[in-house]
Amino acid sequence: MEGPESTESGSVAVTTTTKGLSAEAERRRTFAVISHPDAGKSTLTEALALHAKKISEAGAVHGKAGRKSTVSDWMEMEKARGISVSSTALQFNYHSSETPDEQINVINLVDTPGHSDFSEDTYRVLTAVDAAVMLIDAAKGLEPQTLKLFQVCRHRGIPVITVINKWDRPGQTPLELLDEISERIGLTPTPLYWPVGIAGDFRGLLRRGEDGEAREYVRFTRTAGGAKIAPEEVMDADAALAKEGSEWETAAEESELLSATGQDHDQEMFLAGQTSPVIFASAMLNFGVRQILDTLVELAPPPRGREDLSGKPREVTDPFSAVVFKVQAGMDTAHRDRLAFMRIVSGVFERGMVVTHAQTGKPFTTKYAQTVFGRERSTVESAFPGDVVGLVNATALAPGHTLYTEKKVEFPPIPSFAPEHFSILRAESAGKYKQFRRAVDQLDSEGVVQILRNDIRGDASPVMAAVGPMQFEVVAARMKAEFNVEAKMEPLGYALARRTDAASEVELNRQRGVEVFTRSDGVLLALVSDKWRLQYIQKELPDLTLEPLVAAAD
């Protein structure tokens, strides 16, 4: 980057020189929140936005009479069920109490689905972030989906900050939870803050210093329904002892015990994925939320270079490049448009700039670019490495695509998960076939499901392939809401998908319990009824191509 050209980012004027670009990247933190369903992920997402003063009042848990749904859950299905079924991006500025007065950090928080049926959507998000917050329910501990997503983080080298949530409710002891983390995922937990008061009696947090000494006590005061930022009272160890008595003594003793077992924070080990800073919190009451944000700003890594297909790094100071990690339609019912979310990898993005679409080699104009806060949007004039920008009606873009200027670059594609559930999709009314086709093409391009076709079934009866059956429910709900099409679904009796080729297609279609389809990206997939049928075919016809679809986390 040469020259002193300046632009605006929020309220802060920045330069596009190499030095200025590096500084902009350094003040950004881009992370995802991962958890098992019902661990409080969307509630935490909103609590973080509240503490950053992006919103004035938090909603609460779904399903409570008279309460709001969280800003990150905008689909009617999400509001009705109280779960997240789609990832959303929130961007806001935050000034940490740990940083100089003039330093304002830009937080790019990507909320993810917790349900295992939407693992593929979560994986796409994890290709676009630099850190993750692993949210654990204090009563339930580590749960299957949390473990699975942690393995994805480990595979991708994403450092993890652990938040033990719901400490305001009865649960396990803090030492038991740390032992579980250490034993089940091989990650050494290094608490930065230690709870004062047992689970269900959350009084405040002991801030740990070097060698486990109690640096200070942060005492919280409840607000009505947790709708406002919880007031904090900070006191030294002597005042904490006078205030809390034996509860403070217990917390201080346990903090020293952690140091004796080597559970103090080490930044290099954290970035290497060997340790995880731990914070205890209650997202519902807004206890410990500021501490989470401060920890992210202080410890989470800023954007760094990314390797391209050849293995060569694209540095943040190189000319503009970005990766599309998600495509989403239906966020704006008034306009029914389509947003392609891109993570900026390098350089400066300026609205209206003409970039190149690496997959087609064609120019792409970025006139309609927006930052997103849940369902709300605002036009973005410029953005920097680590930022997430939505491009409106970018119909040529799909997850995994690369955009760039100047020197050509293409980043590795985002792998698809191996589908395990299959269903025929039809329109209830033949008179709405055109709307049906548009809906199918739209949801396919977003990656909501994989769409498979063959000559026998035709375009009127495509087959949906998904990781989990709830993805089919999302398809039906969105077809009705966005395209006014009632969809009819019929389960298909296949359990496995294998990649095949044209040379094997004819013989495979002759086999009982097998049917070959073409996926939208041109890949041939053989659907097989069960593993025993697959084993039989592989034994009897070893020359046929039947390759496993490797899951992204493998």
Q: What is the pLDDT of residues 188-221, one digit of tens each?
A: 999 999 999 999 999 999 999 877 888 999 999 9
d(CA 132, CA 550): 23
* Mean of all residue pLDDT scores within the chain: 85
d(CA 225, CA 284): 8
Does the pLDDT value for residue 304 go beyond 60? yes
Cα 363 off chain centre by: 29
Helix (H, G, I), strand (E, B) or coil at 520: coil
How confident is residue 458, by pLDDT bands cut at 50, 70 and 90?
A: confident
Lowest mean pLDDT among 80-94, 256-270, 482-496: 80-94
Q: 475-478: list long-range contacts, CB under 8 Å, 24+ apart.
A: 475/425, 475/443, 475/448, 475/449, 477/75, 477/76, 477/77, 478/75, 478/329, 478/330, 478/439, 478/443, 478/448
8: exposed, middle or buried (Cβ count in 10 Å: 0-12, 13-18, 19+) = exposed
68-80 pLDDT, tens digit per residue, is: 444 444 445 444 4
How confident is residue 145, by pLDDT bands cut at 50, 70 and 90?
A: confident
146-181 pLDDT, tens digit per residue, is: 887 888 888 889 999 999 999 999 999 999 999 999
d(CA 314, CA 306): 5
Helix (H, G, I), strand (E, B) or coil at 81: helix
Residue among 330, 318, 286, 521 at smallest CA distance from 416: 521
d(CA 406, CA 256): 55
User: In this structure, what DSSP letter does residue 414 have?
Assistant: P
Question: CA quadruple 454, 457, 459, 461: dihedral positive or negative?
Answer: negative
6-48 pLDDT, tens digit per residue, is: 444 443 344 468 888 999 999 999 999 988 878 888 889 889 8
Annotated binding-site positions: 111-115
128 bridge partner residues: none
Q: Are 548 and 504 in contact (CB under 8 A)?
A: no
Annotated binding-site positions for GTP: 111-115
The model's pTM is 0.80
Question: CA quadruple 175, 181, 184, 186: dihedral positive or negative?
Answer: negative
Q: Going from the N-terminus, what domains does the chain have, and what CATH number goes with each?
A: 30-299 (3.40.50.300), 306-404 (2.40.30.10), 421-548 (3.30.70.3280)
Residue among 377, 342, 336, 379 at smallest CA distance from 358: 342
Residue among 340, 328, 305 at smallest CA distance from 411: 305
pLDDT at 329 (0 to 100):
65
Q: Are 280 and 288 in contact (CB under 8 A)?
A: yes
pLDDT at 332 (0 to 100):
52
How confident is residue 82, by pLDDT bands cut at 50, 70 and 90?
A: very low
511 bridge partner residues: none
pLDDT at 330 (0 to 100):
55
* DSSP-H helix ranges across 416-465: 433-446
Does the pLDDT value for residue 282 go beyond 90? yes
